[in-house]
Amino acid sequence: MLINAMRIVARETGFTVIDHALGFTAIRENDGGPLLFCLSTGEWSIFNGQTAKVIASSYGLASFLTAARQYFNLPAETADAVQREYAA
């Protein structure tokens, strides 16, 4: 399931995941960097943690992994493994 792939990426990149009825929100404590908001529909948004402005937003796993590599320093190997595991 797409939301599970997003949770794995969030945890692998040092975020604390807070589940809620619509999906989850993820933060890095004491980081001041990006915040992540993911919906169970596959829609996701990355916000600047200091200004709360959207810095990236889209839908689906491929675009999420691209953004995670850019904003969260997700290693290419991890992104590829998640893509293979959850590609539908």
Alpha-carbon span 51 to 87, nearest angstrom = 33
Please report where in the chains the tokens 């589940």 appear, as a residue.
Answer: 19
pLDDT in tens, 55-86: 999 999 999 999 999 999 899 999 999 998 88
Q: Name which of 7-16, 44-53, 79-88 the model is least confident about.
A: 79-88
Q: How far apart are the first and last CA of the chain?
A: 9
Alpha-carbon span 49 to 3, nearest angstrom = 21
